[in-house]
Amino acid sequence: MRKNHVLLCSLLIAICSLLPAYDVGLTLDQEAAYSGTGSDGTFDYKGIVIPHFSGLLGENGEFFVSAGLNFQNNPLAVVPELLQTDLFFSYGSVDFRVGRMGYTDTLGFIADGLFDGARAAFDTGAGTFGVGAWYTGLQCKRRANIEMTLDEYTANNSEISYSDFVGTYFAPRRALAALDWEHSSIAEHLRLSASILGQFDATGNDALHSQYLAVKATLPFGAFTLDLGGCFELIEQTDETGNAYAAEAGFSWLWEGQGLSFLARHSSGYNGSLSAFLPLTTVPQGNVLSEKLTGLTMFQLDYTMRPHRTFSFSVIPAYFIDNYDSTWGMMGAEIYGKAVWTPFTDVMLSLGGGAFLPSLGDVAPDAKVVWRAELNVIVSFF
């Protein structure tokens, strides 16, 4: 038996030595959470196993292939998915990527996630320009997290059933095109970026299309950084059109082993001639309260301290205001804390927990407290 083990190890070493240009790895991402409302709680487990394989393609290219096998207990299910899988080529000042890739707009809350398509980036003296086109309907709906309409919200939060896999697994069929520009240094103290995005409904049933113009400015002053951004949206559905907007402002300040940041976001609701802002992907604006940026105002403070190079903890209070219609209401406050321990570069453990307190608002002051505690472990094998 021992000889067989030695022979197997020798064979694996020999195979690895024949693949010097390739990289094979495995990531385990496991999360256990206990959450609820008032005195009622539910235990949830979600885990994903992610093998990946990458390598070079000639002198100018490389490839990356990754997949995931998701496990969950509520309801009990095993769900496969294809993750980032793309080809990348670089020719001097021009880069080109095709496949399933990550994309984020300049503000980070319009379109953020994995998309299927192609993108080219051009590095010029006037900044870096990027142009891309993607499709959303071939990936898992939970990964895409698209909830632009009520039907999409209902479908995204329903179970994935193997008896109707095609009807319950895939994300809504939408196409996205984007033109991005970024200049890292204007007059040495200003970074500017902009995105023009167009999202087109491919379902054909009461189609909802939208276009966005987003701009962001970043002004660094040593350890202090100021961020300002805004977005204008044009919404088209059947024969109706609407205008919406979203804006953000924030700062970050770093000093020895500590950091303080503030973020304020506001998006339009139905008020007069304005429509509610609708992003393509749903990006939760809270750690306990999973609200998307539609008719919402949010203020968030983040204090992080790193007493040791392997350990950090954060305290993140936030407050939410509902401005979905002309009647504004104070939703309440959220307090969340998180500790992160990274004993090795390929191992990370985080423990977080917090609560949303509706009693600190006037929308539903008698509602029960919403709370959540979670443990996340990420281990990577290269």
Kindly tell me if the per-residue pLDDT of 210 is higher than 80.
yes
Say what the pLDDT of residue 2 is.
42
User: What's the longest Cα–Cα distance across the chain?
Assistant: 79
Mean pLDDT for the chain? 93
Across residues 224-246, what is the average pLDDT?
95
User: Could you tell me how many residues make up the chain?
Assistant: 382
Q: What is the pLDDT of residues 9-36, one digit of tens each?
A: 444 344 444 445 689 999 999 999 999 9
Kindly tell me if the per-residue pLDDT of 4 is higher than 90.
no
Kindly tell me if the per-residue pLDDT of 42 is higher than 80.
yes
Say what the pLDDT of residue 139 is.
96
Residue 75 preceded by cis peptide, ω within 30? yes
Coil/strand/helix, residue 309: coil
Q: What is the pLDDT of residues 324-350, one digit of tens each?
A: 998 899 999 999 999 999 999 999 999
Say what the pLDDT of residue 373 is.
98
Say what the pLDDT of residue 13 is.
41
Q: Cα separation of 244 and 238, whole Å?
A: 17
Kindly tell me if the per-residue pLDDT of 356 is higher than 70.
yes
Cα 203 to the center of its chain, rounded Å: 24
More confident residue, 273 or 120: 120
Q: Is 162 exposed, middle or buried (0-12, 13-18, 19+ CB in 10 A)?
A: exposed
β-strands 40-57, 22-37 pairing: antiparallel
Structure tokens at 23: 């990289």
Say what the pLDDT of residue 71 is.
96
Say what the pLDDT of residue 238 is.
81
Say what the pLDDT of residue 382 is.
80
Question: What are the angstrom distances between the C-alpha of 76 and each of 34, 44, 46, 73, 338?
Answer: 16, 10, 10, 4, 28
Q: Taking the domains of the chain in order of start, what are their residue ranges? A: 1-91
DSSP conformation class of 106: S
CB burial readout 257-296, b (16+ within 10 A) else e: eebebebebbbbbeeeeebbbbbbbbbebbbbbebbbbbb
Across residues 2-10, what is the average pLDDT?
42
Say what the pLDDT of residue 19 is.
46
Cα 344 to the center of its chain, rounded Å: 25
Residue 262 in contact with residue 228, Cβ under 8 Å?
no
Q: What is the pLDDT of residues 309-331, one digit of tens each?
A: 999 999 999 999 999 998 899 99
CB burial readout 303-320, b (16+ within 10 A) else e: ebeeeeeeebbbebebbb
Q: Positive or negative, the Cα torsion across 203, 266, 332, 330?
A: negative
Q: What is the pLDDT of residues 159-182, one digit of tens each?
A: 999 999 999 999 999 999 999 999
Say what the pLDDT of residue 312 is.
98
Across residues 281-287, what is the average pLDDT?
95
Q: What is the pLDDT of residues 48-86, one digit of tens each?
A: 999 999 999 989 999 999 999 999 998 899 999 999 999
Strands (E), 106-239: 112-124, 127-135, 174-186, 190-201, 208-221, 224-237
